Amino acid sequence: MAETLTVTDNRTGKTYELPIQDGTIRAMDLRKIKVTDDEFGMMTYDPAFMNTASCRSRITFIDGDKGILEYRGYPIDQLAEHSDFLETAYLILFGELPSAQQLQTWSRDITLHTMLHENIKKFLEGFRYDAHPMGMFLSAVGALSTFYPDAKHIFDVESRRLQTIRLIAKVPSIAAYAFRHTIGRPYVLPDNELGYSGNFLNMLFKMTEPRYKPHPILERALDVLFILHADHEQNCSTSAMRNIGSSEVDPYSALAGASAALYGPLHGGANEAVLRMLNDIGSTQNVPAFIKKVKGGDGRLMGFGHRVYKSYDPRAKIIKRMADLVFE
């Protein structure tokens, strides 16, 4: 059976055969459907890209109706149970889980790039005391492009690998510094003796103790959260980064734009909206009244429902399990 789609234009009576590949047709193939030769041709209209595939990917598979999320064919619950974030990052980037030696080398490369240039620290110090951490974060990420001009060599495989390592390593440092700035505490240097998530906790919460020792349950919970949010197909921030990257700009500038997309209340900023909602509710005693108010059309219930997952979000049950451990 031919993998084609037959389209009949009722305006002209003409019939067109459009090839089908991977369950899709090419939008450009519609261009040949015209009433007159001087027309531009048929176009697709798909607000919010609800039914448009812009690329072929072997990284993430999502079935929203069945509640399935996989990275490179591995179910998300298996990775959350048996992997850690750096191993998962390696899987996403290179397509296979690393050997023990590859993971050791990969983790070491990340660890050796966690430090930030002193001028980045000075840059962050220039923000107001009440600056939003995401505004600081995306600004600092974009500023990295001025510190690493070699990042402009985007067609150099080794350069791309180096920028990838730098970004994975430095993003937690920038995020931690932005947080410390907003609460008026001094910046904490990375600790190379700690793991990826443990070091992030160290930079966030270290006080005057000689060496910060992260709680193993908190460290694991954070690592699992990083795994669950490592990739999620063509979401808003991923689309933003791909669009910006198509101009052949350096990856730091592209990631700054993706971070700006993440900042929005309908994307990553939804997490902040949930926290604000919980603060407004105040206590469990106020929950029934709040729900009644929302049902009456006054306000919104944040954090419930998902645009993609129609039955359940497979990440939710994993987060609940980790939350139970954290709050025991």
Strand partners, 21: 24
Q: Is 25 in contact with 32 (CB distance < 8 Å)?
A: no
Rounded (10°) CA dihedral 75, 78, 80, 86: -80
pLDDT of residue 150: 96
Asked which of 270, 288, 307 is the last residue of a domain, the reply is: 270
Output 188-195 pairs: Cβ under 8 A, ≥24 positions apart: 188/212, 189/115, 190/111, 190/114, 190/115, 192/111, 192/112, 192/114, 195/84, 195/107, 195/219, 195/223
3-state secondary structure at position 61 = strand
Distance CA 3, CA 1 (A): 6
Same domain, 12 and 85: no
Asked which of 247, 270, 293 is the last residue of a domain, the reply is: 270
Residue closest to 107 by CA, chosen among 135, 127, 131, 88: 88
Same domain, 99 and 21: no
Residue 187 structural domain: 75-270
49: CB partners within 8 A, 6+ apart: 234, 239
DSSP letter for 99, please: P
| 21: in domain | yes
Same domain, 142 and 216: yes
Q: What is the pLDDT along the chain (328 residues), one digit of tens a residue?
A: 679 999 999 999 999 999 999 899 999 999 999 999 999 999 999 998 888 888 888 999 988 888 889 999 999 999 999 999 999 999 999 999 999 999 999 999 999 999 999 999 999 999 999 999 999 999 999 999 999 999 999 999 999 999 999 999 999 999 999 999 999 999 999 999 999 999 999 999 999 999 999 999 999 999 999 999 999 888 899 999 999 999 999 999 999 999 999 999 888 888 888 999 999 999 999 999 999 999 999 988 887 766 676 677 889 889 999 999 999 8
pLDDT of residue 233: 84
pLDDT of residue 307: 66
| 256: in domain | yes
How many domains would you assign to the chain? 2
pLDDT of residue 1: 66
Q: Which CATH number does the domain housing residue 237 bear?
A: 1.10.580.10
Q: In what order do the strands lie in the sheet with 74-75?
A: 60-63, 68-71, 74-75
43: CB partners within 8 A, 6+ apart: 27, 30, 31
